[in-house]
C-alpha cells in the first residue's frame, strides 16, 4: 500500500493506513480553504464553500463570539475523519488565534504530523513561527504547503531560505513552481517527474498532469511557455544541486520538511500534498506514557483525552471529551478503565466526526479521534485503557499570563458562577483559582480575548452576566515540594495562596520579584509554571 518503507512495519494495515495530523498557519494563509479542498477530495463534502459558510474561527472579536454561539458547528470541525484512496485521514483542527495557544499545544499532542501552510507572498509569519516551535518541542514531522502561488509571490529560494533559517529545518522541494503571479502556469512534481498545469478557468478542476521523461522531454516545451521554460530549468537545476533530496527518515524525525507549491483556492497542488501526507507522513506513532509507552499495534485499547468541549448544546449541558486512540481496535460498547479514578466506563455512544456531521463510531483504531459524551468524568490528560494503569504524559497546563478577578452580576448567583468556572477550568478554557483568604475567584488566561469569550459563554450557557475586574495578582505558579516545606510556606504566605480546580496549591504573585524571593527563602520548594494534566 505504501510506496515507501514504514517506520512501524509491525502495524496492522488498518492502523498503518491512518494519518492523523493538524494544519498550522498564520491567519489568512489559507488553512480553511485547504481544509475544504481536503474534504472535497476525501469525498466528505460535495462542493466547495461548505466549510467556509460554517465560519471557521474568524479573527475579529465578534466573529469569535459568533463562533462560540455556533458551537455545534465549530466543534464538528475540531476533528474530521475522511478517506483518501486507501488511507484514512484524521484532521484535527487547531484554533487559529494566538490567544488559544494552550489549546493548540494540547491538540498537537494528539497528532502524528502537521501541515504548515504559508502564504507565498508573506513567507514565515509570526503565528507560523510560534506554532512551528510547539511542533518542534515534540519533533513532530512537518509537511509544508506554500499557498497562493497564483498571486505575486516572493522569490522561491528566499522562501526556502527563510524556512531553513527561521525554523532551523532542512527543506526539500517536492514540487517546483513554473512562473509567478499572473504567469504562474503550474508546478513540476519533482517526486514523480510530472508537469502539473493549473486551470485558471475552473477553480475546482484538478490539475492536468503530464508525465515527463527527463528534462529534455519535448513535452515540456509544448506545455510551458518559452519565456518561462529557461528560468524554470535553471531554477530546478539549482534547487537539485543546493537542496537535499527527500529523506523520509529525516521527515519522520522532524528535521526535514518537504515543500509543495500550490494554490488552495484553485485546487492546485492539493492532491500532491495529500499524496505526500499519505505516502511520506507518519503512521500512528508510539505515545509516551507512564510507567511505559504505548505502541499503536498493541492488541489492547488505550486512548487519552486531549480536549474537552462542554455545552455543545446548552440545553443539555453535555460534554464531549476528544480522545485520541493510542492503541488497539476499539469497538462501541467496550468497557474501559478510567485510569485516574480506577473506575470502569462503558463507552456506548462514542462519536466520529465527519466533516459536516457526527455519527456513532462503531469502531476506531489507533490514530483515530473519537468523541465521548460524558457528564464531567473525563478531563484533559485522562487515559482510558483495558485495565492497565497507564497514563499518557506530556499534556501540560501552562501558568496563565493574565489574571483577573470575576464577580457575578447577581450576587445571589455566586454558586452558579462557581459551577460555570469549574466547568471551564475542566475544559481547559481558563485557569480558576480559589484564594485561601477571602471569597471569589481569580481567573487566569493566556490571552486577553479569552476573558471576553468566557464572559460571553457564562452569560450564554448559564444565563449569568459576569464582570471581570483587575486583580491584585499578576501571575501564578504551582507549588511543589515535600509536605512540611509546603505547609510552612503556605502558612506564612496565606495572602498569596490559592487552589486550582484540581485542588493543587498555587502561589499568586504581585510582582515578578515575589518569585525570586520565594525561591531564595524556601530552597526546598519549587515554583513551576507548567503542570502535567492528569
Ligand atoms: P485561513 O483559514 O488560514 O485564515 O485562510 P482562508 O482559507 O480563510 O483564506 C484567506 C483568504 O485567502 C481568503 O480570501 C481566501 O479566499 C484566500 N485564498 C486562499 N487560498 C488562496 C489561493 O490559493 N490564492 C489566492 N489568491 N487566494 C487564496 P478572503 O478574501 O479573506 O475570503 P473570501 O472572500 O475568499 O471568502
pLDDT, position 48:
53
**321, 306 Cβ separation under 8 angstroms:** no
Its pTM stands at 0.85
Within-domain flag for 422: yes
- Residue that has been written with the C-alpha cell 524554470 in this structure: 232
* Dist. CA 501–CA 444, nearest whole Å: 12
Question: Do 373 and 480 fall within a single domain?
Answer: no
Same-domain status, 476 and 378: no
What is the CA(33)–ligand 1 centre distance, in A?
Answer: 6
Cα–ligand 1 centroid distance for 147 (angstroms): 10
Please tell me the predicted confidence (pLDDT) of residue 72: 34
Query: What is the Cα–Cα distance from 411 to 161, expressed in whole angstroms?
Result: 58
Determine contact, residues 64/453, Cβ cutoff 8 Å.
yes
The answer to whether residues 354 and 404 belong to one domain is no
Q: Domain span at residue 174?
A: 13-191+245-280
Is 249 found in the same domain as 332? no
Looking at the CA of residue 266, tell me the nearest atom of ligand 1: 23
- Give residues with Cβ within 8 angstroms of 231, minimum separation 6: none
Ligand 1 within 6 A of 263 CB?
Answer: yes
Output b/e per residue, 244-275; b: 16+ Cβ within 10 A. eebebebbbebbbbbbbbbbbbbbbbbbbbbb
* 4 assigned to some structural domain: no
Domain boundary among the residues 327, 359, 392 is at 392
CA distances from 189 to 175, 193, 194, 241 (A): 4, 5, 5, 16
CATH number, domain of 177, equals 3.40.50.300
- Burial class of 125 by CB neighbour count within 10 A (0 to 12, 13 to 18, 19+): middle
Residues 339 and 459 in one domain: no
Q: Same domain for 153 and 36?
A: yes
DSSP summary character for residue 282: P
Both 256 and 298 in one domain: the answer is no
Query: Which helix or strand (DSSP H or E) is residue 480 part of?
Result: strand 475-480
Answer yes or no: do 470 and 442 share one domain. yes
94 lines ligand 1 (CB under 6 A): no
- Grid cell, residue 318, equals 453535555
Sign of CA dihedral 84, 87, 88, 90: negative
Count the domains in the chain.
3
d(CA 322, CA 279): 27
Q: Which of 370, 392, 414 is the last residue of a domain?
A: 392
Q: Determine the residue of 23, 26, 28 to mutate for testing ligand 1's pocket, defined as the one with the most ligand atoms within 8 A of the Cβ atom.
A: 28
Determine the longest span between alpha carbons in the chain, in angstroms: 83
Per-residue confidence (pLDDT) for residue 54, from 0 to 100: 42
Residues 439 and 493 occupy one common structural domain: yes
Could you tell me the distance, in angstroms and rounded to a whole number, from the CA of residue 490 to the centre of ligand 1?
53
Decide which of 392, 423, 455 is a domain's last residue.
392
Residue 490's domain is classified under what CATH number? 3.30.70.3280
What does each C-alpha distance from 263 to 187, 246, 274, 291, 322 come to in angstroms? 11, 22, 14, 46, 32
Residue labelled with grid coordinates 475546482: 204
Q: What is the dihedral of CA 363, 367, 371, 377, to 10 degrees?
A: 110
DSSP string, 201-254: S-TTSPPEEEE--STT-HHHHHHS-HHHHHHHHHHHHHHHHHSPPP-HHHHHHT
For residue 224, tell me if it sits in a domain: no
Cβ–ligand 1 distance for 125 under 6 Å, the answer no
- C-alpha–C-alpha distance, residues 256 and 273, integer Å: 15
**Where are the extended beta strands (E) located within 26-133?**
79-84, 87-92, 113-119
The response to whether residue 265 sits with its C-beta less than 6 Å from ligand 1 reads: yes
User: Does residue 144 line the site of ligand 1, with CB under 6 A?
Assistant: no
Answer yes or no: is 237 within a domain.
no
- Same domain? For 387 and 403 the reply is no
The reply to whether 163 and 32 lie within a common domain is: yes
Question: What pLDDT does 103 receive?
Answer: 77
Report the SS3 class of residue 52: helix
Distance CA 210, CA 198 (A): 12
Three cell numbers, residue 234: 535553471
Rg of the chain, C-alpha, whole Å: 25
CB of 97 sitting under 6 A from ligand 1: no
Sequence-distant (6+) residues with CB within 8 A of 397 are: 102, 380, 428, 431, 530, 531, 532, 533
User: How far is 465 from 207, CA to CA, in rounded Å?
Assistant: 53
> Cell numbers of 301, please?
485499547
CB contact at 8 A, 34 and 270 = yes
Tens-digit pLDDT profile for the chain (534 aa)?
A: 344 556 677 899 999 999 999 999 988 999 989 998 998 888 766 555 545 444 443 333 334 444 444 433 333 447 889 999 999 999 998 765 555 567 788 889 999 999 999 999 999 998 888 889 888 888 999 999 999 999 999 999 999 999 999 999 999 999 999 999 999 999 999 999 999 999 887 777 777 788 888 888 999 999 999 999 999 999 999 999 999 999 999 999 999 999 999 999 999 999 999 999 999 999 999 999 999 999 999 999 999 999 888 766 656 667 889 999 999 999 999 999 999 999 999 999 998 877 556 678 899 999 999 999 998 889 899 999 999 999 998 887 788 889 999 988 888 888 889 999 998 888 888 899 999 998 889 999 887 888 888 898 899 888 899 999 999 999 999 999 999 999 999 999 999 999 999 899 999 999 888 999 999 999 999 999 888 765
Q: Which parts are annotated binding residues for GTP?
A: 25-32, 93-97, 147-150
Site to probe by mutation for ligand 1, drawn from 22, 25, 27, 30 as the one with most ligand atoms within 8 Å of Cβ, is 30
ipTM above 0.90, yes or no: yes
Supply the residue whose CA is at minimum distance from atom 6 of ligand 1. Answer: 30
Residues 455 and 410 in one domain: yes
Amino acid at each position: 500500500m505504501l510506496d515507501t518503507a514504514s517506520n512501524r512495519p509491525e502495524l496492522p494495515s488498518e492502523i498503518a493506513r491512518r494519518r492523523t495530523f493538524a494544519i498550522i498557519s498564520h491567519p489568512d494563509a489559507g488553512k480553511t480553504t485547504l481544509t475544504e479542498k481536503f474534504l472535497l477530495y476525501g469525498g466528505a463534502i460535495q462542493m466547495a464553500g461548505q466549510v467556509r459558510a460554517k465560519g471557521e474561527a474568524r479573527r475579529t472579536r465578534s466573529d469569535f463570539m459568533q463562533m462560540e454561539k455556533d458551537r455545534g458547528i465549530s466543534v464538528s470541525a475540531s476533528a474530521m475523519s475522511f478517506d483518501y484512496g486507501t488511507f484514512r485521514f484524521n484532521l484535527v483542527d487547531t484554533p487559529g488565534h494566538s490567544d488559544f495557544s494552550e489549546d493548540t499545544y494540547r491538540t498537537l499532542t494528539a497528532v502524528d504530523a502537521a501541515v504548515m501552510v504559508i502564504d507565498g507572498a508573506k513567507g514565515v509569519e509570526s503565528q507560523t513561527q510560534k506554532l512551528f516551535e510547539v511542533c518542534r518541542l515534540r519533533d513532530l514531522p512537518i509537511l509544508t504547503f506554500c499557498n497562493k502561488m497564483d498571486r505575486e509571490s516572493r522569490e522561491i529560494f528566499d522562501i526556502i531560505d527563510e524556512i531553513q533559517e527561521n525554523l532551523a529545518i532542512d527543506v526539500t522541494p517536492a514540487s517546483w513552481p513554473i512562473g509567478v503571479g499572473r504567469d504562474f502556469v503550474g508546478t513540476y512534481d519533482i517526486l514523480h517527474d510530472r508537469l502539473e498545469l493549473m486551470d485558471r478557468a475552473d477553480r475546482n478542476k484538478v490539475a492536468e498532469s503530464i508525465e515527463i521523461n527527463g528534462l529534455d522531454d519535448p513535452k515540456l516545451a509544448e506545455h510551458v511557455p518559452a519565456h518561462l521554460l529557461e528560468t524554470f530549468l535553471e531554477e530546478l537545476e539549482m534547487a537539485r544541486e543546493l537542496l537535499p533530496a527527500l529523506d523520509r527518515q529525516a521527515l519522520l524525525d522532524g528535521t526535514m520538511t518537504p515543500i509543495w507549491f500550490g494554490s488552495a483556492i484553485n485546487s492546485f497542488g492539493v492532491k500532491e500534498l495529500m499524496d505526500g501526507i499519505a505516502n511520506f507522513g507518519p503512521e500512528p506513532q508510539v505515545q509516551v506514557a507512564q510507567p511505559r509507552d504505548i505502541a499503536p499495534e498493541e492488541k489492547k485499547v488505550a486512548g487519552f483525552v486531549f480536549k474537552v468541549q462542554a455545552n455543545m448544546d446548552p440545553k443539555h449541558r453535555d460534554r464531549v471529551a476528544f480522545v485520541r486512540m493510542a492503541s488497539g481496535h476499539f469497538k462501541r460498547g467496550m468497557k474501559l478503565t478510567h485510569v485516574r479514578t480506577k473506575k470502569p466506563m462503558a463507552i456506548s455512544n462514542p462519536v466520529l466526526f465527519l466533516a459536516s456531521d457526527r455519527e456513532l463510531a462503531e469502531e476506531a483504531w489507533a490514530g483515530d479521534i473519537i468523541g465521548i459524551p460524558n457528564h464531567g468524568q473525563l478531563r484533559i490528560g485522562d487515559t482510558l485503557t483495558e485495565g492497565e494503569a497507564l497514563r499518557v504524559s506530556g499534556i501540560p497546563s501552562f501558568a496563565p499570563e493574565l489574571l483577573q478577578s470575576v464577580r457575578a452580576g447577581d450576587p445571589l448567583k455566586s454558586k452558579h458562577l462557581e459551577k460555570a468556572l469549574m466547568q471551564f477550568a475542566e475544559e481547559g478554557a481558563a485557569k480558576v483559582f480559589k484564594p485561601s483568604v477571602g471569597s471569589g475567584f481569580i481567573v487566569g488566561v493566556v490571552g486577553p480575548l479569552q476573558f471576553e469569550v468566557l464572559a460571553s459563554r457564562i452569560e450564554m450557557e448559564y444565563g449569568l452576566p459576569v464582570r471581570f475586574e483587575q486583580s491584585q495578582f499578576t501571575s501564578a505558579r504551582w507549588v511543589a515540594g515535600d509536605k512540611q516545606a509546603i505547609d510552612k510556606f503556605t502558612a506564612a504566605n496565606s495572602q498569596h495562596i490559592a487552589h486550582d480546580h484540581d485542588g493543587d496549591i498555587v502561589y499568586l504573585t504581585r510582582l515578578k520579584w515575589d518569585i525570586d524571593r520565594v525561591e531564595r527563602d524556601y530552597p526546598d520548594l519549587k515554583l513551576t509554571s507548567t503542570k502535567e494534566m492528569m
